[in-house]
């Protein structure tokens, strides 16, 4: 059962507001993502293949890692009803099975007329290494528009 979604009123959101989640990536996550996406690249799925690459081990799908931004937008900040409009990502380092990643969303700008938030994203592993970052835009509809 998913955790309860939080919603923050658009009027209360300010630049500098943040939301954070932490996720440990396991083999079951990678297998489920491969089944949903159809991406069975052996770099993600096969230990023997991955051991012969420069990474030396299986790499978690970059888009699986990035998908946790959707959790932040839709469940944390701004939360229920938010619509993720645009996003760019940079994967700085690979995420491996067993890595724990802390995702931080920060509001950088607010456009009240359009009800848009500019956001920046940072993802850091358990060793304090940034593995991903990015910028995006989120629309927050008026409550009566939901």
**All structural domains of the chain:** 15-140 (3.10.129.10)
User: Residue 84: pLDDT band by 50, 70, 90 thresholds?
Assistant: very high
For residue range 100-144, list pLDDT tens digits in order: 999 999 999 999 999 999 999 999 999 999 999 999 999 999 875
Average pLDDT over residues 6-26: 91
User: What pLDDT does 1 receive?
Assistant: 36
Give CA separation, 67 vs 37, 89, 120, 141, in Å.
12, 11, 14, 22
Residue 64 confidence (pLDDT) above 50: yes
Give CA separation, 75 vs 6, 52, 63, 78, 131, in Å.
6, 39, 18, 7, 22
Closest CA to 80 of 142, 14, 17: 142
């Amino acid at each position: 059962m998913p955790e309860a979604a939080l919603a923050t009123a658009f009027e209360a959101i300010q630049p500098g507001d943040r939301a954070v989640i932490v996720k440990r990536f396991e083999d079951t996550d990678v297998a489920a993502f491969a089944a949903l996406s159809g991406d069975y690249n052996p770099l993600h799925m096969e230990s023997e293949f991955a051991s012969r690459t420069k990474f030396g081990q299986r790499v978690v799908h970059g888009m699986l890692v990035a998908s946790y931004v959707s959790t932040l937008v839709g469940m944390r900040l701004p939360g229920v009803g938010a619509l993720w409009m645009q996003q760019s990502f940079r994967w700085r380092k690979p995420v491996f099975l067993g890595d724990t990643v802390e995702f931080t969303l920060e509001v950088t700008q607010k456009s009240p007329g359009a009800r848009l938030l500019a956001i920046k994203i940072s993802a850091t592993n358990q060793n304090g290494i940034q593995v991903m970052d990015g910028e995006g835009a989120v629309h927050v509809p008026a409550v009566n528009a939901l």
